[in-house]
Amino acid sequence: MIASIQTKDHSITRTLQDFFAGMLKTGAADAVLVPSRMSDSPYVKPCLIASHDRLDRTVPLGPGFFVNAGPMMSRLTRTRAGSTLVAWLRPCEIRAFVELTKLRQGAREEVVIIGMDCPMALSRTDYDDWAGQGNDMSDDVEKWIQTVYQKPVTQVDAWPVSRACQVCDAPYPVNADVSVMLLGGDLDREIALRADTEKGEKLLAEMDLSEGQEPERRKALLADLETERTEAFQAMDEEMLDQTGSIESLNRFFSACVNCYNCRSVCPVCYCKECVFNTDAVAYAPTQYLSWADKWGQVSLPNDTVFFHLTRLAHIGCTCVGCGQCTLACPSHIPVSDLFISVTRNARKAFDYVPGRDDAEPLPLSVFQESEFTDIVGMGNKEAT
């Protein structure tokens, strides 16, 4: 089922705000989760809104992306709340939430997920620039929307979108209940929504919308995006191999890391209650540091910086959704996500695993196989021992 919302007053933002207000008014939703500004500040964060008259600061589509809402969804759905929540999510936020549900950190029974073709994001400094260009941000937002959905772009005006978005191979919603099909759409006139699940159909039916259809150009645009982004990924992959292909170069890559753990805090699939790097597993005695200094001539402190990133790479090797938050959050301007996206996308190929692709697809680490990767583990091959 595909429905259509007529665009009001040439404002896609307003149109969507009304759409959410309608849900709250009719009771189709008890609350909606939408990115919103909290004051005059340009920064947006996911906000849980229960009142239909508090939607005017929401920015459903825009280049601001400072929190991946996946883990927020986990907080909201950890146990049953007995109410219906509608969540407006970027594709990488849905992917993160799907991975978290597999890890029993949330459940989607009580949520209706509306996913949209992705508007991409800007880095924090570029966002500051972008948001500071005029007095009223809403015009800039409308302009952004009108630009990013009409053809493959890697920058809007002077501002390049984040590297993670430039190489993203799934900028469209997967595993949503409702997909908002913006790419190639005549957005000044209407917005097309497709129900992908029964829950989605129920929601759209309750909203009493007119019938619509997928924008004609959307499929072709998606194909173009795929081609461009595959190339962009390959370029980044080679760059990363060049920059981190040896222990020495890897050390150089992370040399500015100060172990602030921001990347871990914002990572949507780093779900541990207590990180192993906060435990005694990596607590060393003073003599240990001295003996290392003795052995290697020097130990930079804090130590275990690269080791921390390698561990995180191992932990999220299959679940990394490529949202780029780690780069956005890094105070030392390390392109963390470039490395993570490059490594994890290659690693998960070995398991034919795609994070967020399918609720029912088990995490590779959770599947026990008596014999696999025999060329690596050497089992069953006595010669190799």
Partner 1 sequence: MTDQIGKTLVIGGGISGIRASLDLAQAGYQVLLLEQSDRVGGLLSQLDTQFPTSTCGMCRMLPMMERDRVDQQCLRRGLSHDNIEICVSTDLISLKGDPGNFSVSFLSQTDGGRDDCPVLVVDDEKIVRDSMKEWLSEEGYPVQTADSAAEALNLLAEGSFKVMLTDIKMPGMDGVTLLTRAKEIQPDLAVVMMTAYAAVDTAVEAMKQGALDYLVKPFDPDAVLQMVDRIFKDAVAENARKDTVDAVILASGATFFQPNLGINPYGYGRIPGVVTNLEFERMLSHAGPGGMDLVHPVTGRPVTRIAWFQCVGSRDIQTGTPFCSSTCCMISVKQSLLAKTMYPQVTEACVFYMDLRTWGKASDDYARQAKKAGVRFVRARVHSLAPGLKENDTGIPVVWLDPSGDRRESLFDLVVLAPGQHPDAFLSGFAKDQELTTDDWGFVRPEPFLSGHTNRPGIFVCGGATGPRDIHDSVTGASAAALSAMQVMASAGRQTVQNPEKTESTGLRSDGVSLFPGALVIGGGIAGMAAALAIADQGFDVDLVEKTDHLGGNLVWLQTAIEGAGSFLEEQTAAVQGHDRIRIHTRTCVADTMGRPGQWNTRLTPVKDTAENTDADRPEQLAENGSPPDKSSGGKSPDVQVRHGVVVLAVGGAEASPDRPLPDNGPGIYTQQQFQQALDQDAIDTGSPLHVAMFQCQGSREPGRDYCSRICCPRSLDQALRLKAGHPDSRVVIFYRDMMTPGLSESAYTEARKAGVVFVPYEPGNTPELAADNTGCRVNWTDPILGRAMEMAADYAVLATGIQPGLSRDLARLFGADLDRSGFFDQADIKWRPVEAMDPRVLACGICLEPGNLALTLASARAAAAKAVSLLSRETFFPGKDTARVRSAFCSLCQICIDACPFNARFIDPETRTLKVDPLACQGCGICAAACPSGAAVVTDRSLAPMIKTIHAVLNQPL
Q: Which residues of 143-159 are buried (b: 16+ CB within 10 A; e: fewer)?
A: ebbeebbbebeeebeeb
**Could you tell me if 373 and 115 are in contact, meaning their C-beta atoms sit under 8 angstroms apart?**
no
**If you write DSSP's letter for every residue of 185-230 in order, what string do you get?**
--TTTEEEEEE-SHHHHHHHHHHTPEE----TTHHHHHHHHHHHHH
Is residue 101 close enough to count as binding partner 1 by CB under 8 A? no
> Which residues make Cβ contacts (< 8 Å) with residue 263, sequence separation at least 6?
309, 312, 325, 326, 329, 330, 336
Is residue 382 close enough to count as binding partner 1 by CB under 8 A? yes
Is residue 109 close enough to count as binding partner 1 by CB under 8 A? no
| Both tokens assigned to 299 | 């130990």
For partner 1, the closer of residues 163 and 309 by Cβ is 309
Please report how close the Cβ of residue 45 comes to partner 1 at its closest, in angstroms: 24
Residues 220-249 that bind partner 1 (CB under 8 A): 247
**C-alpha closest to that of 356 among 368, 373, 344, 343:** 344
Is residue 310 close enough to count as binding partner 1 by CB under 8 A? yes
Q: Which of 8, 10, 104, 143 binds partner 1 (CB under 8 A)?
A: 104
Q: Which of 18, 224, 304, 361 binds partner 1 (CB under 8 A)?
A: 304
Please report how close the Cβ of residue 256 comes to partner 1 at its closest, in angstroms: 15
What single letter denotes the amino acid at residue 60?
Answer: P
Is residue 252 close enough to count as binding partner 1 by CB under 8 A? no
How far apart (Å, rounded) are the C-alpha atoms in residues 187 and 57?
20
Q: Which of 13, 17, 105, 166 binds partner 1 (CB under 8 A)?
A: 105
Please report how close the Cβ of residue 303 comes to partner 1 at its closest, in angstroms: 6
Q: Which of 306, 313, 347, 354 binds partner 1 (CB under 8 A)?
A: 306
Q: Which of 290, 350, 367, 384 binds partner 1 (CB under 8 A)?
A: 367
Q: Which of 51, 79, 135, 300 binds partner 1 (CB under 8 A)?
A: 300
**If you write DSSP's letter for every residue of 34-70 in order, what string do you get?**
EEEESSSSS-EEEEEE--TTS-TTB-SSSS---S-SH
Sketch the per residue contact string, 57 through 96, with partner 1: x for CB under 8 A, - otherwise.
Answer: ----------------------------------------
What's the DSSP call for residue 13? H
Is residue 366 close enough to count as binding partner 1 by CB under 8 A? yes
Sketch the per residue contact string, 312 through 331, with partner 1: x for CB under 8 A, - otherwise.
Answer: ---x----------------
> Which residues make Cβ contacts (< 8 Å) with residue 369, sequence separation at least 6?
none
CA distances from 83 to 164, 206, 239 (A): 34, 16, 47
CA distances from 165 to 6, 17, 148, 329 (A): 28, 25, 12, 15
Is residue 377 close enough to count as binding partner 1 by CB under 8 A? no
Characterize the bridge pairing of strands 44-49 and 2-6: unpaired
Is residue 374 close enough to count as binding partner 1 by CB under 8 A? no
Q: Which of 9, 198, 208, 383 binds partner 1 (CB under 8 A)?
A: 383
> Site residues (CB under 8 A) for partner 1?
103-105, 247, 251, 271-276, 279, 281-282, 292, 296, 298-300, 303-307, 310, 315, 362-363, 365-368, 370, 382-383, 385
